[in-house]
Structure 1
């Protein structure tokens, strides 16, 4: 093997320029700028944030612009799925008429020229022995076997199912009273986000300052304040709601009062732990030596340095509050009819799960996606607010 010649220029010493050596290549970022950049790079956290923003906009403005109200009833269109298959009935005079048979409610509907769900077709005759229904559709008569949901002409010819048609009247379908599921979903989002807002305000106004004050004062004051927190947290939230319902009328207000009265204890514990660590720092001793008041030290020095754990805990407690409201409404302790929440929609859909599974799918999916969104955002904030995870 022959050696390759090496150019002497490759071994020349590098030139040293003082201005270039002192130049900072990366831009100087503050703590919050660096946090925003790292949060922006977290795709799951940003997806959760986008979903929460879109959900808030839909809950705020959706019921205002949507054509149906959450309480409007139309029994003629009860239990209509969001999408269904149609049948084409050939006519003797030529052409055909399209119909849709709802096997669950055993109702037959005409399909308009534009493909929209039309009027209800009443049966001309019922055969209880053969469990069949006889309908007159144009100039043809058809029979439907209710057990198998098959449509046949007079000569016994079975009609094949046609293409899927989207429900243009109720995009998410309708419930057993003919109410729009989408309208009730939007109204349920309002209630869930109201619960999230109440949980946020309570945790900030009570939990943060109560836990911060207990941790900063320490000693006997801390012992007494935290024993009160333990007494409150020892009683189940369901019992609080029941006791409040004895005094107040049952409904959404009872759940709000229950969450507002006891939901701050977890935040108080976390903030107290942060205060016990931070109050031993030198800058707190310096502020105390300069004559700063307890309130100033707490609000200007300690709580701002605890904002990371506070935000992370807050994003984790908000989905828990939404789930608590849904559970309370599911067992009948939440909102009362005709109001709708994701919990009441789930409770009503359980009764008709086997016949109309779509009525359970949409509220369950809304609860699950909201929980995932807040948890992803909380995980992203935890990683972005921790300087030790900076890469």
Structure 2
């Protein structure tokens, strides 16, 4: 053997080290984040969902209104309106807007804040008119024919001075004079709570039920999946309706009704994943080393199925929101004065022609939320699939 001096084994100075040929390969988590952030609809959906949750649970505390306070004098106020102005002989100007659906005049200030309902004189039922006094000016509301006209004493017609947004009630009021915005936020609380609680129940029951069935196989799998098929023979919505008829209507009842049957699809998906993974070599190695079935299931099989589980959970959230809204729409959901998007929609259908804004906001909230979770689910599905490259 040739003698080698210790000097020949000295460390190479850092300045002389050879640079790596290629950067280190990204981890799976880094690749998932990169693919998810590259999906613009998914990113927008994440932002929308975060803002919705913050607004739903913290927004009502910053509003001067409550979801149950009624003011019948300010019922059916639109979120925006055309303002009119009348100046009397003393130079004082009164601004107001006309609610053409109920022939009422409401006083507002220059910024669009509501000041109250204007009281007019005695209505002329034959002439279909009503006088209003503004100092020395008399304004006549003529609704004998459409469109409604506002006439001064000299017969001239008062024209609107422009559109203004309702600064007091940003989304307007309902038929009982309640603020729609606050009720919308409380409705988001109810709908999101039902959806997330049902999803958690779905996760714990569906994941472990399907995991046990898929791992045990044989007769255990056959018996467990026959039970799932029995539940699946009844349409999910009909089953929830039947349960809601048995239970009293309310938030807890609808959570129990949805959570009791919402795990079936998750159980099937997890079972399929476990059946395809339990024959892998690492499962056989864990079994050879003496790992218990519970440890193999929780430490090896379920973590490797987390991608499809997360995507399925994301996809089932809008389904839970829709079912809760449907239950509330037909009167089997939350009870008044609580509000959910479904109950708000149900109340607004009665006055759709006269006050379409009352239906627009809850319907738009349901639609946008379902779109957001669906886009997020699509983005997670693509991001978690290692076969998808971008």
When the two structures are superposed, what TM-score results if normalisation uses the length of structure 1? 0.91
How much has 1:248 moved relative to structure 2?
Answer: 3.0
Contact 2:199 2:259 in 1 (8 A): no
Structure 1 gap ranges (5+): 1-16
Q: Which residue of 2 aligns with 1:9?
A: none
Which shows bigger deviation, 134-143 or 236-245? 236-245
How much has 1:113 moved relative to structure 2?
Answer: 5.2
Cα separation, 2, equivalents of 1:219 and 1:115: 70
Cα separation, 2, equivalents of 1:44 and 1:242: 34
1:357–1:24 CA distance, 2 compared to 1 (3 A): farther
Q: Which residue of 1 aligns with 2:152?
A: 153
**Are residue 207 (structure 1) and residue 209 (structure 2) matched?**
no
Matches within 5 A, 1:79-158: 79-112=76-109, 114-146=111-143, 147-158=146-157
Q: Which residue of 1 aligns with 2:226?
A: 227
Contact 1:125 1:135 in 2 (8 A): no
Cα separation, 1, equivalents of 2:161 and 2:319: 44
1:119–1:283 CA distance, 2 compared to 1 (3 A): same
User: How many pairs align?
Assistant: 373
Contact 1:237 1:258 in 2 (8 A): no
Cα separation, 2, equivalents of 1:357 and 1:27: 58
Cα separation, 1, equivalents of 2:199 and 2:112: 46
1:238–1:389 CA distance, 2 compared to 1 (3 A): closer
RMSD over equivalenced CA pairs, Å? 1.7
**Are residue 254 (structure 1) and residue 264 (structure 2) matched?**
no
1:110 is paired with a residue of what secondary structure?
strand
Q: Which residue of 2 aligns with 1:346?
A: 345
**Are residue 217 (structure 1) and residue 216 (structure 2) matched?**
yes
Q: Which residue of 1 aligns with 2:22?
A: 25
Deviations 1:124-151 (A, max 9, x none): 0212122222211222111112242211
**Are residue 332 (structure 1) and residue 353 (structure 2) matched?**
no
Which shows bigger deviation, 112-121 or 318-327? 112-121
Matches within 5 A, 1:1-391: 19=18, 23-112=20-109, 114-146=111-143, 147-391=146-390
Contact 1:241 1:333 in 2 (8 A): no
Cα separation, 1, equivalents of 2:112 and 2:322: 39
Cα separation, 2, equivalents of 1:158 and 1:27: 77
Deviations 1:196-228 (A, max 9, x none): 211221122100010011011111111110110
Cα separation, 2, equivalents of 1:35 and 1:149: 60
Deviations 1:162-208 (A, max 9, x none): 11111121111000000000000110110111012112211221000
Contact 2:112 2:168 in 1 (8 A): no
How much has 1:254 moved relative to structure 2?
Answer: 1.7
When the two structures are superposed, what TM-score results if normalisation uses the length of structure 2? 0.92
1:242–1:44 CA distance, 2 compared to 1 (3 A): closer
Structure 2 gap ranges (5+): 1-15
1:245–1:322 CA distance, 2 compared to 1 (3 A): closer
Cα separation, 2, equivalents of 1:255 and 1:236: 16
Cα separation, 1, equivalents of 2:136 and 2:199: 64
How much has 1:154 moved relative to structure 2?
Answer: 1.5
Q: Which residue of 1 aligns with 2:11?
A: none
Cα separation, 2, equivalents of 1:158 and 1:90: 14
Cα separation, 1, equivalents of 2:74 and 2:184: 18
Contact 2:111 2:167 in 1 (8 A): no
Cα separation, 2, equivalents of 1:73 and 1:27: 64
Which shows bigger deviation, 135-144 or 354-363? 135-144
Q: Which residue of 2 aligns with 1:4?
A: none
1:84–1:27 CA distance, 2 compared to 1 (3 A): farther
Cα separation, 2, equivalents of 1:341 and 1:387: 39
